[in-house]
């Protein structure tokens, strides 16, 4: 079983930018969830500068979730974004910053989520120790408002 263990933080400032790569622009959309009142998974399609993916992630709070990701045809992904996914799409640029032995992913959102910036670090186990850079602020790993799937129905501009 594929498991993603991820911690998510807000940022204090932009000092991370001096260490970041050039960034990767992404558009992603989510398919309508199950009709029951307790969704079990989110299903999304993502297109970035080089690749296209179909992703299935278990829908639960916390830092550990099941995750499955498969590369798919770019034209198919674009068509899914345009015709099958809920709107608005999630638009962001993802930057990577290496701190210690971990690579942080900093998502700078655009569109309806303009102004939102979140840093994530993936871990091998829930208790793994990692260096917290001085540009980190409050942890929001357990706050569902910051899950990308939530930003479709409740975009940052409406908070």
Q: Which structural domains are found in the chain, ordered by start?
A: 3-158 (2.40.320.10)
What residues act catalytically?
30
Alpha carbon distance 94, 91 (integer Å):
10
Token pair recorded at residue 75: 């034209």
Residue-by-residue pLDDT tens, the chain, 159 positions: 689 999 999 999 999 999 999 999 999 999 975 555 667 888 999 999 999 999 999 988 889 999 999 999 999 999 999 999 999 999 999 999 999 999 999 999 999 999 999 999 999 999 999 999 999 999 999 999 999 999 998 999 999
Q: How high is the pLDDT of residue 110? A: 97
pLDDT of 61: 80
């Amino acid at each position: 079983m594929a498991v993603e263990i991820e911690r998510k933080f807000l940022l204090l400032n932009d000092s991370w930018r001096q260490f970041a790569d050039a960034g990767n622009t992404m558009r992603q959309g989510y398919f309508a969830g199950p009709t029951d009142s307790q969704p079990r998974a989110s299903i999304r399609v993502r297109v970035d500068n080089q690749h296209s993916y179909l992703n299935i992630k278990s829908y639960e709070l916390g830092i550990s979730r099941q995750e499955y990701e498969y590369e798919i045809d770019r034209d198919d992904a674009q068509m899914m974004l345009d015709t099958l996914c809920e709107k608005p799409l999630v638009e962001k640029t993802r930057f990577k910053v290496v701190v210690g032995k971990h690579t942080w992913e900093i998502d700078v959102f655009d569109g309806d989520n303009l102004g939102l910036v979140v840093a994530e670090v993936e871990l091998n186990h829930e208790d793994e120790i990692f260096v917290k850079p001085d540009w980190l602020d409050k942890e929001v790993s357990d706050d569902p408002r910051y899950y990308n799937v939530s930003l479709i129905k409740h975009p940052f501009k409406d908070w």
